[in-house]
Structure 1
Amino acid sequence: MTFKHIASFLLLITCLTSFSKEEQSSDVIKPISAENEKGLIKVAIIYPFSEGKTFDMAYYKTKHMPMVAGFLGSNLVRYTIEKGLASGIPDTPLPFMAIGTFYVKSLSDYHAAIGPNRDVIRADFANYTDITPVIFISQVIR
């Protein structure tokens, strides 16, 4: 083995060791695992696709969802934003433009937070879409 090979090997080991230490750091945000989501309440706000309808993803991502997340406070575990790309069946229309999802600890606390802010939330729809969303609330089983 040449010096060049040994140096490359040592560099690789150093990089892997550094990466491993970074991952173990408490500063690294780790995604919530499916096991940690078990029992949470999942609120999915689904925006069905319809020809001629509009959806401003940038506004939704930077203004609307953070506003609603703020209303939820400490009950909120996390939220996700999904942009529709395609149907599960080739050459069929896209079923949904977007889906926003909130994972919360308590359904009653969710309702208590959203209730007094419902009019503000609904009024903001006009800033990013002309689609009436469908809301589906479920409990994460697995």
Structure 2
Amino acid sequence: MKFRLILSFLLLAASFRAFSQTSQPSAGADKGLTKIVIMYPFAEGKTFNMEYYETKHMPMVAGYLGTNLVKYTIEKGLAAGVPNQPLPYMAIGTFYVKSLKEYQAAVAPHIPAIRADFANYTNVTPVILVSEVVR
């Protein structure tokens, strides 16, 4: 009986260690980066062309960022976090950069072009959050 209990404990501990090592492989990899999140709120009558956003708009903006850009992601909203609640965002684009100052300098001359391109994929005014990744 003791042997089975010890064996079960060891297997559980090994499984937990394996899970914790594989479930968060990059937990600290993004630490210290600046994250620019562009969120497109959902509302009745609003539209969003994901194909254009993915193939034209985001690559255009990413091109302005050069070597300061670490990565970018594109997300399509599916549901709210609470059942039976409206979708909060239709889409979210995120840029991870090394330096906020370099990001701002890179996009500043292109703001008119970036804003003019909105009409090609959405009729929504985005909400933008700039933050520092702490974990």
Shorter chain as normaliser: what TM range?
Answer: 0.7 to 0.9
The C-alpha deviation readout for 1:74-126, integer Å capped at 9, x for no partner, is 00000000000000111110000000000000000000001000000000000
Q: What is the letter of the counterpart of residue 103 of structure 1?
A: Y
Q: Structure 2 matches for 1:38-53, cutoff 5 A?
A: 38-53=31-46
Q: Percent identical across equivalent pairs?
A: 68
Partner of 2:86: 93
CA deviations 1:20-71 (Å, max 9, x no partner) are xxxxxxxxxxxx8121100000000000001110000000000000000000
Structure-2 residue corresponding to 1:120: 113
RMSD: 0.9
Question: Which consecutive residues of structure 1, in runs of 5 or more, have no partner in the other structure?
Answer: 1-31
1:107 counterpart residue number = 100
Distance 1:36 1:129 in 2: 32
Unpaired segments ≥5 residues, structure 2: 1-24
Runs of 4+ in structure 1 over 3 Å off: none
CA distance in 2, matches of 1:40, 1:107: 9
TM-score in terms of structure 2 length: 0.81
2:50 match: 57
Tell me, yes or no, if structure 1 residue 69 matches structure 2 residue 62: yes
Structure 2 counterpart of 1:82: 75
Match of 2:126 in 1: 133
Number of positions where the alignment pairs a residue of Structure 1 with one of Structure 2: 111
